[in-house]
């Protein structure tokens, strides 16, 4: 299953189809963006094998400068990647989904390659995949919040912030020791 009604929270166990789908979308993005995309990676909870996740595929595109993506907005829209603007400072967002029933299937984050946001996404994923005990801590937190806020994605997301910050600090230390 891929896709979730906007604003809702439902977690399901890891699905092989998520990895296959992410590879397919990454291939399409590489063809469309060429060398503008320095790197494209599957990130987020759907890229962490041991945990439950919302069935929305997160992908990060690393570019040299955020403005490099702007000439591609129309082309990406023609391939169902809808531009949502700078959703947080230092990051642009594209979404995919069935907009008629308000369902989102993919969040495509565009960030500066090898910048803070890029490194946080990659380090978080790699750290949790390499440390199952840490992945389970995150999983437990997510499940508790999902049961509290099944129709309130904003509170679900803000509730994860402290553990994400903690795990990111640990991931940076882990990465620097490699």
**Residue 82 within a domain:** yes
CATH of the domain at 42: 3.30.460.10
**Residue 118 within a domain:** yes
The rounded distance, in Å, linking the Cα atoms of 139 and 145 is 10
**Residue 78 within a domain:** yes
CA triplet 37, 17, 59: central angle to 5 degrees?
25
The rounded distance, in Å, linking the Cα atoms of 58 and 26 is 11
Residue whose C-alpha is closest to residue 168's, from 146, 136, 132, 138: 138
In this predicted model, what pLDDT tens digit does every residue of 145-155 receive, in sequence order? 999 999 999 99
**Residue 63 within a domain:** yes
pLDDT range class, residue 1, cuts 50, 70, 90? confident
In Å, how far are 86, 110, 126, 131, 156 from 13, measured between CA atoms?
A: 30, 26, 18, 18, 18
Give Dmax over CA atoms of the chain in angstroms: 48
**HSE-up of residue 147 (Cα within 13 Å, Cβ side):** 6
In this predicted model, what pLDDT tens digit does every residue of 88-137 receive, in sequence order? 889 999 999 998 899 999 999 999 999 999 999 999 999 999 999 999 99
pLDDT surpassing 80 at residue 178: no
**Cα 122 to chain center, whole Å?**
10
In this predicted model, what pLDDT tens digit does every residue of 68-88 receive, in sequence order? 999 999 999 999 999 999 988
The rounded distance, in Å, linking the Cα atoms of 10 and 37 is 31
**Domain count of the fold of the chain:** 1
**Residue 178 within a domain:** no
- The pTM assigned to this predicted structure is 0.95
Domain of residue 100, residue span: 4-173
In Å, how far are 14, 85, 125 from 160, measured between CA atoms?
A: 19, 23, 15
């Amino acid at each position: 299953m891929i896709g979730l009604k906007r604003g809702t929270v439902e977690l399901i166990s890891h699905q092989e189809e998520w990895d296959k789908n992410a590879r397919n979308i990454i291939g399409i993005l590489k063809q469309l963006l060429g060398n503008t995309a320095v790197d494209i990676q599957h990130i987020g909870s759907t890229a962490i094998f041991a945990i439950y996740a919302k069935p929305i595929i997160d992908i990060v595109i690393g570019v040299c400068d955020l403005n490099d993506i702007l000439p591609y907005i129309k082309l990406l829209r023609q391939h169902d990647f809808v531009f949502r603007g700078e959703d947080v400072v230092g990051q642009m967002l594209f979404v995919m989904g069935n907009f008629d029933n308000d369902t989102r299937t993919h969040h495509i984050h565009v960030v500066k390659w090898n910048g803070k946001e890029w490194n946080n996404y990659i380090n978080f994923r790699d750290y949790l995949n390499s440390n199952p005990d840490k992945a389970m801590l995150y999983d437990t937190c997510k499940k508790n919040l999902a049961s509290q806020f099944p129709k309130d994605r904003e509170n679900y997301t803000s509730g994860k912030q402290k553990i994400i910050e903690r795990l990111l600090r640990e991931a940076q230390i882990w990465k620097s020791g490699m």
